[in-house]
Amino acid sequence: MASKIIVVATLSHREIKVVPGVLTLLVLRNSGAAFSIGTSMTVVFTLIALGVIFFILRTSRQLRSLPWAVTLGLLLGGATGNLTDRLLRSPGLFRGDVVDWIQLPHWPVFNVADSAIVCGGVLAVLLAAWGFRLDGTRDGHSGHSGHSGHSGSSGVSGDGGHGGVSGTGGVSGTGGAPQDGGQPGGPAPGQVTGSETRQPEGTGEGEAQERGSAAGGQAKQRGSTAGDSRA
């Protein structure tokens, strides 16, 4: 809008050839849309501009994407700039002529607002095609599918102070995996447990006493046998 005010004040009755044959600045009144399209539909384009501005302002509530923020900003700025001309310039309300002032070879005269609208439209198409959403997510990448750390079945935990690795595929702390057909948690075949190798205390003394008693009984029996034969 500021560029239009300056152009109308300085270029209303003349033109400037910035680059001869390439870029020329001059003031041209346009009652149609961008690039002088539809010059007889001024009121329709005014209503369309109002709808676009309302839609962008409403959509901005859920805006979380920087690319979309730039895109909607271009569209909003361009639509607002041209709408201001429609409302305030002659010949009247909703029928005002838009000020165009940039001329290129083989191209209709346009202004900065037209360029913003076109660039914003192209960006909107590209962002939609690439799957970018207004909330900052992207189609197929809307969230993290999992956590990279160990959790649940793959985590490390302890059971009863054993400190083993628990989980569906891990080794439990309370019992080892079955080996060679052995029972889970039990000793492997051929392994001697502590209860088998450990003997009760005093077992050696008891056996010695039993052997001594047996020897004494045999001696008494021999003595009695010898007395009987003498008699």
pLDDT of residue 145: 44
Query: What averages of pLDDT result for each successive group of 10 residues across the chain (231 residues)?
Result: 86 89 92 68 85 92 94 94 90 86 91 93 96 90 49 43 42 44 49 47 54 62 53 40
Question: What count of residues does the chain have?
Answer: 231
The first and second tokens of residue 28, run together, are 């041209």
Active-site positions read 100, 114
Residue 72, Cβ density class (10 Å: 0-12 exposed, 13-18 middle, ≥19 buried): buried
What SS3 class is residue 1?
coil
Residue 73 identity: G
The first and second tokens of residue 127, run together, are 């962002």
Whether this model's pTM surpasses 0.85: no
Instruction: Please state, in angstroms and as integers, the Cα–Cα distance from residue 196 to each residue in 191, 192, 206, following that order.
Output: 10, 6, 19
d(CA 140, CA 132): 10
d(CA 160, CA 173): 8
Domain boundaries, the chain: 2-129
pLDDT of residue 197: 46
pLDDT of residue 41: 77
